[in-house]
Amino acid sequence: MERSSDISDEPEALALDKWVSEKFLQNEIIDYLNEATSGYFWQNDSFPMKGRKRHNRFRPNGVPDILGLIDGMSIGIEVKSPKGKILQSQIEFSQRFRRSGGSYFVIRSMEDLTELCKVNGWV
C-alpha cells in the first residue's frame, strides 16, 4: 500500500463538529496511535517563551507536537485546530524532516488521524 506523505493544510478542508483544544487533541492522538497501531508515539515537550523565539542549535524551531516510529519510519505530527495556521518554522522543519526520510503530517481532527492510519495501513 502506498503511503500518504501529507494531509491537506487548508483549514477549510477539515472541520470539527465541536471545538477542542490542540492540547486535548494531541493527547487523544497519542493515546489512539499507541493503542491502535504497532508504533510508538510521544509528545514533543516544548515550552513557550513570551515575546521571542527559542534559539537553541540542538533543538530547532518548528519541531512537531508529536514524534514517533512505526514500521521503521520516523513520523512527525503537527496538531492544529481547524483554523490553526502552520508557521514558517514548521514548514521549514517539515521539509527538512521529509528530505531526511521522515514522514510529516498535519492533523486537525480525530477523523484526519483515522483516515491517515487507514491510508498508510497502520490499523
**Is 5 among the domain residues?**
no
Q: Residue 73 maps to which CATH number? A: 3.40.1350.10
Q: pLDDT tens digits, residue range 43-57?
A: 987 655 555 566 667
**Is 2 among the domain residues?**
no
Instruction: Supply the pTM of this predicted model.
Output: 0.78
**Is 100 among the domain residues?**
yes
d(CA 4, CA 45): 26
43: containing domain: 11-119
At 50 the three-state DSSP class reads: coil
Select from 4, 5, 13, 7 the least CA-distant residue to 83.
13
pLDDT of residue 49: 56
Q: How many domains does the chain have?
A: 1
Residues 6+ apart with CB under 8 A from 90: 62, 64, 78
